[in-house]
Amino acid sequence: MDGNAAALQQVIAAWVQAVGSIVAIFAAIGIAWWQRREDRRHELQQAASEERRLLLNALKIGNEVALMLRAAFDLRMDPTVLDTPDQRAREIARLEYAIMAISTVPLHLLPSINAIGALMELRAIAGEACTIIGPIQGQRAGHPSYAAPFATLINRAVEQEETLAVAVGEAT
- Residues 6 or more apart whose CB falls under 8 angstroms from that of 31 comprise none
pLDDT tens, 22-68? 999 999 999 999 999 999 999 999 988 888 888 899 999 999 999 99
* pLDDT tens-digit series, residues 117-142: 999 999 999 999 998 887 766 666 67
**141-171 exposure pattern, b = at least 16 Cβ within 10 A, e = fewer:** ebeeebbebbeebbebbbebbebbbebbeeb
How many angstroms from the chain centroid is the CA of residue 155? 22
Q: Has residue 151 got a pLDDT over 70?
A: yes
Q: How far is the C-alpha of 143 from the C-alpha of 12, rounded, in Å?
A: 100
Distance CA 149, CA 142 (A): 13
Whether residue 72 contacts residue 136, with contact meaning beta carbons closer than 8 Å, is answered with: no
Taking a C-beta distance cutoff of 8 angstroms, is the pair 68, 109 a contact? no
25: Cβ contacts below 8 Å, ≥ 6 apart:
none
pTM above 0.75, yes or no: no
Q: Is the pLDDT of residue 1 over 60?
A: no
Report how far residue 89's alpha carbon sits from residue 86's, in angstroms, rounded to the nearest whole number: 5
pLDDT at 148 over 70: yes
CA dist 160 and 81 (Å) reads 30
The CATH number for 50-171, chosen from 1.10.600, 1.20.120, 1.10.8, 2.60.120, is 1.20.120
